[in-house]
Structure formats: structure tokens, C-alpha cells
Chain A
Amino acid sequence: QVQLVESGGGVVQPGRSLRLSCTVSGFTFSRYGMHWVRQGPGKGLEWVAVIWYDGSKEYYAESVKGRFSISRDNSENTMYLQMNSLRGEDTAIYYCARGDENSLDHWGQGTLVTVST
């Protein structure tokens, strides 16, 4: 069955960096676009970024543009989110999700990122 597992979350100080990973199984990873979505404490869903199935295109939410970078390794069935210059407002659960024409049909369980001194 389709599985997505996020890792790499934790507590980090403002201004520092963190890299999240999303490792998938149960489907042909190289055929699908992949997304990151986050949810701050007690808040709604915020779309963060997408990467095309072949890595040829990337798009970002304005709130993370220039600080976050999405990438993927199709040989390893893994997607990444490099997060730099982290701020308090980046504190959230980060979900990876599979895109089917960019609707998100499968989700991981999320990894918590806390930006705090």
C-alpha cells in the first residue's frame, strides 16, 4: 500500500536550518509530483511547496520563497525540504503528500518542527 514517512523534524533556534525528508513506498515515486503542506499549532493547512515528478519544476508559497528549497531523489524514493533562516512562524507539523494532478491523494503522518530559543 502507499506509504509516506516524514522525518527530520525537531527543535531548532531561529535563524538556523533543518532538512526534512519524505520517504515513500507502494507506488512509482518518479511518476508523481510531491508536495509539502504545514499546519501551525491550532491553525489550518498551509500549502508550502511542490516539485514536479521529474524535478523539472518547483513552486513555493510566498511565505517560504527564498528560504525553503524542495528537491527529490527518484532513485531513493525520497523528497526533501531544506529549510533555512527559520522563524517562529515556521513552527508547524510538516506533511508530505503525493500529488495526483496536484490534488493530494496520499499523506504522511507529519513531522513536527519547533522554532524556538
Chain B
Amino acid sequence: EIVLTQSPGTLSLSPGERATLSCRASQNINYNYLAWYQQKPGQAPRLLIYGAFRRATGIPDRFSGSGSGTDFTLTVSRLEPEDFAVYYCQQYDTSPFAFGPGTRVDIK
């Protein structure tokens, strides 16, 4: 079973700043089957990135994903007010398709 850890737990930043979120897997994730989701309070999650670096439909290019193997990163180049939310990574290489515990990005 692949276990994901995310860091930091909380990131306090100001609008316009760069956010760098980390997701680490307990074992290698094949085919870069790693996705990132954004969730705002009271809403369902939204797919941002799949295949480690591919942006989902309609996702602004300030969101980017990178990494391979066991270490992955989500970067938001310049935070907009609507980007303050919780972000989850998920591996979909091997069942169970677990999520990481999440990183909360809040306004400093």
C-alpha cells in the first residue's frame, strides 16, 4: 500500500506570493499516476493536476505540477484570493488509491 505524506500541513502566504506544496510517497509511483486536487469549504474537490504535471481542463496556468518517483510538487506561481483552500495529492497507480492528508493554504 502506497502512503502519501504532504508538507507543510499549513502554509500561510499573502496574495501574489508563490506557494510550493510537497507530496511524498512511501514507494515509487509508476507512470506518474499522481494527481492534485483543490477543495474549498463546503465544496467538492476539484481536479487540478493529473499525471504529475498535466493541468486539468480549465485550470489556470499559475498552477503547475512536477516530480516523479516518490517526490512531487504543486506550485502556485502567484496566489490569487480564490486559491486559498486545502490541497490534496492522490496516487492512482495502485489500489488503494489513497489521498495525502492535505495542505491548507491560508491568508497570512
Give me the interface of A with B, judged by CB distance under 8 Å: 35, 37, 44-47, 50, 59-62, 95, 99-110
Number of CB contacts from chain A to chain B under 8 A: 65
Q: Is there contact, CB below 8 Å, between A103 and B99?
A: no
A45-B45, A45-B88, A103-B50 as given contacts; A50 in contact with B95, CB under 8 Å:
yes
Q: Is there contact, CB below 8 Å, between A44 and B33?
A: no
A47-B96, A62-B96, A95-B44 as given contacts; A104 in contact with B33, CB under 8 Å:
no
Shortest CB-to-CB span from A55 to chain B, Å, is 16
Number of interface residues of B (CB under 8 A): 25
Set B50, B51, B102: member contacting A45, Cβ < 8 A: B102
Give me the interface of B with A, judged by CB distance under 8 Å: 1, 33, 35, 37, 39, 44-47, 50-51, 56-57, 86, 88, 90, 92, 95-102
